[in-house]
Structures are given as C-alpha cells and as structure tokens.
Amino acid sequence: MGKVEAIERPSREEILRIINSALSSKSMLVIFARCRVHYDGRAKSELGSGDRIIMVKPDGAFLIHQSKKREPVNWQPPGSFVSVEGREEVVVLRSIRRRPKEVLEVELEEVYLASLFRAEDYEELSLTGSEAEMAEMLFQNPELIEPGFKPLFREKQIAEGIIDIMGKDRDGNLVILELKRRKADLHAVSQLKRYVEALSKQHGKVRGILVAPGITSGAKKLLEKEGLEFRKFKPPKRQRKSSGRQKTLF
C-alpha cells in the first residue's frame, strides 16, 4: 500500500471509497472540489457554490480554503468527528464538534481530485528565539529591561487581548511589555497602545514598553507620539531537543 492515493474526476463511488478509506486509516484527506458549505453552531453561516480545497487531518481538524488569504474560510478544531454521507444528488462531508456543539457540512457538487496521504511524522517543531523564550529570559533577568523592574505576570489575559509580561517599575508604576521576536512594526505599537489605554482607566499611570530586536521608522515615530518606550532585545538563541517519537500520528 503506497503513501499516496489520488483520483482525478472520481465517480460517486470512488469519492465515497477514498473518503472512508482516509477516515478509517487515519490518513490525511485532501479534496479539490466545487462545493457548498453550511455551518451551525455559535452562529450560522452559508457559503455558496465555489471551488475550494478541503482538508481533513487524522486528529479531526477540518479546514476549507478558498483561493485567497492564508486562513481557512471555515474550519473545525482537532477532536471533531468527521463522517461522510452519500445523498441523492451530492456527497456530504460532515464535521461535528461536541463542546460547544458545532456542525459543519460540505456538499461536494463536483470533485476534481480526491486524495489521501498516509503520512508519518514523529517530530515536534523546535523553535529557537521565540517570544516565549524572550519572556523566560526577561523573567529571570528583569534588569535587562531596567534596574528595579519586577515582572509579575506572563500572558496576562485582559478584555483587549493577552499581555506578554506585566510588572512594576522601581516607583511602583504598572509596566506592560509587548514582545516581538522580529522587527516591531506599526501593528505592534497599536497593540501595546491598546493595552496601556485599557489598564490606565483602572490603574492610573501605566508604562508601555515594546521589546524587540529592532523597530521600523514608522513604528518608532508612533511610539514616541504615544508616549511609549522601546527596548532593543534580541531573542535568545538556544536549541531545544526533540521530544522523540509520538505514540500516534499528528
């Protein structure tokens, strides 16, 4: 049995067979098709007929991509239950998420290519110089920001988003650190500004510091205009060892 099986312009019977085979063997399923999409869950949505790529992964992740943008237009997370049903006129792929209850149905009107991939992949992504490593180093060495800085929280959730590091300076003022592993841009400044404005309503004076290996000229101008600060800091470069083979795929 080969790694890949693909059928161009499959018949109805071939579509059902390859989908059932992929689901039962925990293979990756990829379909190029003209389809309609129906979603019912926390809201309701309908996507009319169009050419899309449908991907189902062995962990239950279900993604539908259009020919634009990076993100899927519809998706279900890992852990969802996927099934297939042959109706009178169309084949329907269904994904059900139990908590919260969400149902995603794809009506396959015309299938151009149906394929399965019996993938083997036992490695985990190893990142160096990540924002998480930046946060870890700054927690261990807060003086890298400034003398007297005391970090209190990591990934602090507020209504406006997640603050990378929240702490206090030597004068007791609240300090927000926004970490970027690459050169900071206008979006990073806007993000920091939003957090500072939100917490200033509750805590009075709040300092916002953007921490990154560099900053664009436009971002620097906006930072100064908004009374925010910048600290140049390069992410640490240390290797993480692979955790070894997983017991199950994906």
Class of domain 4-117: mainly beta
Q: Do domains 4-117 and 131-232 have the same CATH topology?
A: no
More reliable by pLDDT, 216 or 89 = 216
Provide the pLDDT confidence category of residue 126 given band limits of 50, 70 and 90.
low
Tell me the pLDDT tens digit for each residue of 20-45: 999 999 999 999 999 999 999 989 99
> Could you state, in order of their start, the residue ranges of all structural domains in the chain?
4-117, 131-232
- pLDDT at position 245: 42
HSE toward the beta carbon, residue 124, CA cutoff 13 A: 10
Rounded to two decimals, the pTM is: 0.57
Burial of 214: CB neighbours in 10 Å, binned 0-12, 13-18, 19+: middle
For tokens 């300076």, the residue is: 169
Class of domain 131-232: alpha beta
| 112 pLDDT above the threshold of 60 | yes
- pLDDT at position 246: 37
List Cβ neighbours of 121 (8 Å cut-off, separation of 6 or more): 249, 250
- pLDDT at position 235: 82
Could you give the C-alpha distances from 153 to 8, 202, 234, in angstroms and in order? 54, 17, 21
Tell me the pLDDT tens digit for each residue of 129-152: 678 889 999 999 999 999 999 999
Provide the pLDDT confidence category of residue 128 given band limits of 50, 70 and 90.
low
- pLDDT at position 42: 86
| 17 pLDDT above the threshold of 90 | yes
Most confident range (mean pLDDT) of 5-14, 156-165, 231-240 is 5-14
| 173 pLDDT above the threshold of 80 | yes
91-97 vs 161-168, strand pairing mode: unpaired
- pLDDT at position 125: 59
Q: Which of 26, 64, 93, 22 is nearest to 5 (CA)?
A: 22
SS (H, E, C) the chain: CCCEEEEECCCHHHHHHHHHHHHHCCCEEEEEEEEEEEEECCCEEEEEEEEEEEEECCCCCEEEECCCCCCCCEEECCCCEEEEEECCCCEEEEEEECCCCEEEEEEEEEEEEEEEECCCCCCCCCCCCCHHHHHHHHHHCHHHCCCCCEEEEEEEEECCEEEEEEEECCCCCEEEEEECCCCECHHHHHHHHHHHHHHHHHHCCEEEEEEECCECHHHHHHHHHCCCEEEECCCCCCCCCCCCCCCCCC
